[in-house]
Amino acid sequence: MEAAGERVPLLTLPEAHDLLNWLRLVTAEGEDHAPEAGRWAKEIAARVPSQE
């Protein structure tokens, strides 16, 4: 199966920070998805430059 075109970045840096912030909010709520959101927040935080 061939790719249909050139691969583009999936998220911009601001989008990555927005997603990270949202995942942290979900983690803080402590609902059913909190552990998975926390895991993803750690994975993204390790790969995205800080906002500072």
Domain map (residue ranges) of the chain:
13-45
pLDDT above 60 for 2: no
* 27 vs 52, residue with greater confidence: 27
Q: How high is the pLDDT of residue 7?
A: 67
* 49 vs 2, residue with greater confidence: 49
Q: Is the model's pTM score more than 0.75?
A: no
C-alpha distances out from residue 17 to 3, 11, 14, 28, 35, Å = 28, 9, 5, 17, 19
Token pair 């050139």: residue: 6
- The stretch 42-49 carries a mean pLDDT of 89
Determine what percent of the chain is predicted with pLDDT higher than 70.
83
